[in-house]
């Protein structure tokens, strides 16, 4: 498995066990996701939306509010991050 596949699996595993994670762990996973999404967008030549609709804004807000998120909200943010990463991985794999 590639490191990206491993990270996506880590995000899904964290989402499935979100009740066992600390707020700090949720925030760190989301921050790592944001950095990875930005890097992958650059590699794929996919520009960010730069609008209120951009998933990175939602992920950043979730990371900053991790201490206030309900478990369902943290789970949704982790799954959203995994979904975006999976989509970007597909795009990058096609260009190889």
pLDDT tens-digit profile of 5-18? 999 999 999 999 99
Task: Kindly write down the DSSP assignment for every residue of 63-87, as one continuous string.
Answer: HHTGGG--HHHHHHHHHHHHHHHHH
What is the reported pTM?
Answer: 0.91
pLDDT tens-digit profile of 11-53? 999 999 999 999 999 999 999 999 999 999 999 887 665 555 6
- Closest residue by Cα to residue 84 from 26, 11, 23: 11
Domain boundaries, the chain: 3-94
How would residue 4 be classed by pLDDT, with cut points 50, 70 and 90? very high
């Amino acid at each position: 498995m590639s490191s990206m596949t491993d990270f996506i699996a880590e995000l899904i595993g964290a989402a499935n066990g979100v009740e066992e994670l600390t707020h700090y762990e949720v925030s760190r996973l989301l921050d790592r996701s944001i950095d990875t999404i930005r890097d992958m967008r650059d590699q794929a030549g996919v520009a960010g939306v730069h609008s209120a609709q951009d998933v990175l804004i939602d992920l950043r807000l979730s990371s900053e509010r991790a201490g206030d998120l309900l478990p369902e909200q943290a789970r949704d943010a982790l799954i959203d991050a995994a979904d975006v990463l999976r989509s970007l991985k597909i795009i990058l794999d096609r260009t190889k």
